[in-house]
C-alpha cells in the first residue's frame, strides 16, 4: 500500500510493534485524539455561522480570557479520552488542576497521562486564521492501582512517549511522533478519514524564515535583539523572511516544512517567558528533535528541564538546528 492511501488507523496498527510498550493502549489513545480532532474540526469550520466565536466570559488559571471554542475543545478532548477508558489522568491548559481518571472495572490500572492545549491560538478564530491542538503523553510514574498525583505530570519532556499537534487550517492535519520519527496525516473531509500525506517529516538544517512577535522587540533580551538584527542583515543568504502567525502549531508546522526558527523569548513583561512548558514547549520540542530540529530556552535543552508546576512558563526557541544554535550563540555572547 502506498503511503498516499494509508489511513491513520492503518499506520498506527502497522507501527505498533515499534513502540516498546506495545499493549495497544497508546494506539487507542491516539485514536481517541483523532476522534476528538474531527469533532473539533467540524465546529471550528462552522465559526461565523453559529455562536461559537468570541470570549466565553471566563478566565483560565493563567489569567487569560477563555474563548468559547477553548471551552468546547477542552470538553471534547477530555470526554473522548475518558470515554475510551485508557488514561489515568489528564491535565489541560484550560483546567486549574489535573483530572484523576478512574474506571470501576480497572481501578486505576491505566498507564498513561495526557497533557493538552485544546485550542492553541484560539484568539485567531474570529479572523479565520489557523488554530491548533497540542498534546503530550507520558507513562505514569506512581504505582499502578493508585490514583495519579501531580508527580505523574511533572516529568521532564525527555520522558514523553508520544506528542503531536492538529492544525485546523486550509486542510486539517494531525502530526505526531512516538519517538520513531514524525508523520503527518491530512483529513479527507468528504469521508472523515485521516490519510498519511507527510511521511518522515524533517526540519531542513538551515532555513530562511524567522518567526517572532517583533512588537515586543524592545522588551527582549539583548541576545535575541542581536539575532533578529542578524536575520535582517543584507548578506548572500540574508535577509531572512519574517513570518509570524501567532498560533504555535501553525508557525511550527510551516517552519518544519520550509526551514525556519520560532522564538518566544522572555521579556520584561513576561520574565519567565509566556509559553507553557508542559502543554506547548515539551510536546513541540519532542516533535522537533524527532524531526532533526532543536528546541531550547536559549541556554538549555527544553526536554531536560524538570517542571516544578503544572502551568510553568519558559522561553522557547525552536526550529532548524543551525538556526537555533546560532540564536543560542547570540544568547550566550550577550548574556
Exposed/middle/buried for residue 166 (C-beta within 10 Å: 0-12, 13-18, 19+): buried
122 known member of a binding site: yes
Rounded-to-5 percentages of helix, strand, coil across the chain: 35, 25, 40
280 known member of a binding site: yes
57 known member of a binding site: no
Rounded to whole angstroms, the maximal C-alpha distance in the chain is 65
119 known member of a binding site: yes
123 known member of a binding site: yes
64 known member of a binding site: no
244 known member of a binding site: yes
The grid coordinates of residue 308 equal 516544578
Whole-number Cα distances in Å, 229 to 213, 223, 224, 242, 315: 14, 10, 9, 12, 19
User: Residue 122's CB: how many other CB atoms inside 10 A?
Assistant: 26
Do residues 35 and 83 make contact, with C-beta atoms less than 8 angstroms apart? no
Q: Who's near 203: CB < 8 A, 6+ residues apart?
A: 255, 256, 259, 288, 291, 292, 293, 319, 320, 321
130 known member of a binding site: no
Q: Looking at the chain, how many residues does it have?
A: 335
168 known member of a binding site: no
Burial 85-102 (b: 16+ CB within 10 A, else e): bbbbbbbbbbbeebbebb
Identify the CA nearest to 29 among candidates 97, 115, 96, 103: 115
Residue positions forming the annotated binding site for substrate: 120-123, 213, 244, 274
Residue positions forming the annotated binding site: 93, 117, 119-123, 213, 244, 274, 280
Residue positions forming the annotated binding site for Mg(2+): 93, 117, 119-120, 280
Amino acid at each position: 500500500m502506498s503511503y498516499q492511501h494509508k489511513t491513520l488507523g492503518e499506520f498506527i496498527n502497522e507501527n505498533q510493534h515499534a513502540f516498546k510498550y506495545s499493549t495497544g493502549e497508546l494506539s487507542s489513545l491516539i485514536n481517541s485524539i483523532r476522534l476528538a480532532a474531527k469533532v473539533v474540526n467540524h465546529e471550528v469550520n462552522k465559526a461565523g455561522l453559529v455562536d461559537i466565536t468570541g470570549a466565553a466570559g471566563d478566565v483560565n488559571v493563567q489569567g487569560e480570557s477563555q474563548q468559547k471554542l477553548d471551552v468546547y475543545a477542552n470538553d471534547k478532548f477530555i470526554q473522548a479520552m475518558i470515554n475510551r477508558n485508557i488514561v489515568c489522568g489528564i491535565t489541560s491548559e484550560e483546567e486549574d488542576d489535573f483530572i484523576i481518571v478512574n474506571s470501576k472495572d480497572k481501578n486505576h490500572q491505566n498507564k498513561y497521562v495526557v497533557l493538552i492545549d485544546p485550542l492553541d491560538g484560539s484568539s485567531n478564530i474570529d479572523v479565520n486564521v489557523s488554530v491548533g491542538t497540542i498534546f503530550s503523553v507520558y507513562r505514569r510514574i506512581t504505582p499502578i492501582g493508585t490514583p495519579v498525583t501531580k508527580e505523574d505530570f511533572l516529568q521532564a519532556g525527555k520522558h514523553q512517549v508520544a506528542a503531536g499537534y492538529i492544525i485546523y487550517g486550509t486542510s486539517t492535519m494531525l502530526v505526531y511522533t512516538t519517538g520513531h520519527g514524525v508523520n503527518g496525516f491530512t483529513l479527507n473531509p468528504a469521508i472523515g478519514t485521516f490519510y498519511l500525506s507527510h511521511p518522515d517529516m524533517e526540519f531542513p538544517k538551515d532555513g530562511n524564515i524567522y518567526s517572532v512577535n517583533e512588537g515586543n522587540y524592545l522588551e527582549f533580551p539583548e541576545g535575541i535583539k542581536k539575532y533578529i538584527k542578524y536575520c535582517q542583515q543584507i548578506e548572500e543568504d540574508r535577509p531572512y523572511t519574517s513570518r509570524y502567525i501567532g498560533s504555535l502549531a501553525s508557525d511550527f508546522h510551516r517552519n518544519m516544512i520550509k526551514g525556519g526558527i520560532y522564538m518566544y523569548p522572555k521579556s520584561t513583561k513576561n520574565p519567565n517567558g509566556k509559553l507553557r512548558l508542559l502543554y506547548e514547549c515539551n510536546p513541540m520540542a519532542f516533535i522537533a528533535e524527532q524531526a532533526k530540529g532543536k528546541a531550547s530556552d536559549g541556554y538549555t535543552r527544553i526536554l531536560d528541564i524538570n517542571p516544578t508546576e503544572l502551568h510553568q512558563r519558559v522561553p522557547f526557541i525552536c526550529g532548524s538546528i543551525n538556526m537555533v544554535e546560532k540564536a543560542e550563540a547570540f544568547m550566550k555572547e550577550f548574556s
